[in-house]
Amino acid sequence: MWNNLFLEFPETALLFKVSWESLLRKSYKIQVALILLMFFIH
């Protein structure tokens, strides 16, 4: 199903991939910030 969608809409697939990767990068930064925050609180 996803393969067909990506073949029909390559730009959309690329955009989705880029936004997903940036989201993962942001969540990684948020996790690091939370860990640091917990460390400073204790």
1-42: per-residue pLDDT in tens? 556 656 677 788 788 888 888 888 888 888 899 999 999 887
pLDDT at 3: 66
Report how far residue 15's alpha carbon sits from residue 1's, in angstroms, rounded to the nearest whole number. Answer: 18
Lookup: tokens for 15: 């955009």
Domain definitions of the chain by residue range? 2-41
- Contact between 13 and 6 under an 8 Å Cβ cutoff? The reply is yes
Alpha helices in the chain (DSSP H): 2-8, 10-41
pLDDT at 2: 59
pTM reported for the whole predicted model: 0.46
Neighbours of 27 (CB within 10 A): 10
